Amino acid sequence: MSTATHPPEETAGLVPDGTSRLLIDGQLVPGSGGTFAVTDPTTEEVVGHAADATAADMDAAIAAARTAFDTTTWSTDHTFRAHCLRQLRDALQGHIEELRDITIAEVGAPRMLTSGPQLEGPIADLGYFADLAESYSWRTDLGQASPMGMPTTRYTQREAIGVVGAITPWNFPHQINFAKIGPALAAGCTVVLKPAPDTPWCAAVVGAIAARETDIPAGVLNVVTSTDHQLGAQLCTDPRVDLVSFTGSTDTGRRVMATAAASLKKVFLELGGKSAFIVLDDADFPSACAMAGIGVSIHAGQGCAITTRLLVPRERYDEAIAAVRDTMAGIVPDDPRRGGTMCGPLISAVQRDRVQSYIDLAVAEGGTVEVGGGRPAGRKKGFFIEPTLISGLDNSSRAAQEEIFGPVLVVIPHDGDDDAIRLANDSAYGLSGMVYGTDPARIQHVVDGVRTGTMGVNGGVWYSADVPFGGYKASGIGREMGVAGFEEYLETKSVATPAG
């Protein structure tokens, strides 16, 4: 176990003390910029503070990660890495209730989601990557050949790429943090994690637990919380960083890619989405429409892979509107601490105002708000928006083309399977999707035709540690999770020796 010493307050517990430090080179240290406030989006109250790092702190974290990669056996000791990842998983599970409280308070995540992708699922997924570190075929025999008449034995070996800069958003912080930390550490990389300033605690507490309760060597994992967005740019420009893994908006992803280009570092980008929920004319119509309304309302629609365009047969357009309207009307935004809450608050006043502006824009474009449309009646506190259904717009409208990141669903008519595919693909994005129908051949035709990184059929769920996740077009570059996600953090070395 780690024997590093920490400030006295760090022994008092994880809330809030374990969330107010940076993890740099194995030590829990204060931020050079002081602290910044953490706000509960449900109450709008300040619930604590997080360490505010400066460029000097980020420089120290990058230096620690570089030294740990270059001077230790971390990258070559596969068994030890698997041991440390399992340790981290077990330690996090031992603090699951504190982590749950932090996640609900900081993210506004509904309690029901913390049993799955908002907390418990991503922690358990660390075990998948620990297993992969041990079972992966690090060397591949290519057999013998005689290039230029010289008998040669060839093989490839996979090696860790080096120092990883991980920049993560606020909507599913544990899932996204661990989807980067898990495979990067399993691959033998060292990591500097820069989480969103809206949700610093979810990352900082992982750093505190890793430092106190695991054998992860100093410098291998560094956690740098800050309000300064330039620290992300610092990761992109620093030549000591070999790969930047970024999840966030497409606009920011473009800047990350452009900034990283100067040092020719590898970039992984998981970006936005405007995914289509396609209902065919032979589907179980009421069930499909209900699921579309439920899906866009979960976690107040704050998910890049959530389906936010509902494509339905033109002849059943009014029927679809009625079915979705009834479903969404029954979903009441509420305190995420309540066990049955599905739709909690948006993360901030800025995000609430942004979502409201899109609803107002949709009306200005000629759309009709069928249900929802604003702040829930009687809620004077909290960054809440009602689940909102918009009709009367075509696929060219801004509300149908731009990522809103709120509980807003636009319903659009289609004229048959091929037209549904055309509309689904008529988007800058290609991250996710769903199709409902009964004819397997027609369903497969839609699955084959829609250019998207993930696709569900009749409610099928693709999310799992072993399933690659990522998008086409402006939805990103590369894949996260699964073997494909693990291999994003590897280089390939080809070796040739004389045949004997």
Instruction: Find the length of the chain.
Output: 500
Contact 165, 237 (CB under 8 A): no
What is d(CA 87, CA 152) in angstroms, rounded to the nearest whole number?
Answer: 43
What is d(CA 307, CA 293) in angstroms, rounded to the nearest whole number?
Answer: 9
The token pair that represents 409 in the structure block: 């669903």
Query: Which residues make Cβ contacts (< 8 Å) with residue 335, sequence separation at least 6?
Result: 42, 341, 344
Q: Which of 270, 370, 487, 488 is catalytic?
A: 270
Contact 221, 101 (CB under 8 A): no
Contact 293, 402 (CB under 8 A): no
Contact 362, 390 (CB under 8 A): yes
User: What backbone torsions phi and psi does residue 155 show, to the nearest 5 degrees?
Assistant: -155, 160
The reply to whether 270 belongs to the active site is: yes
What is d(CA 499, CA 476) in angstroms, rounded to the nearest whole number?
Answer: 43
* Catalytic residue annotation: 270
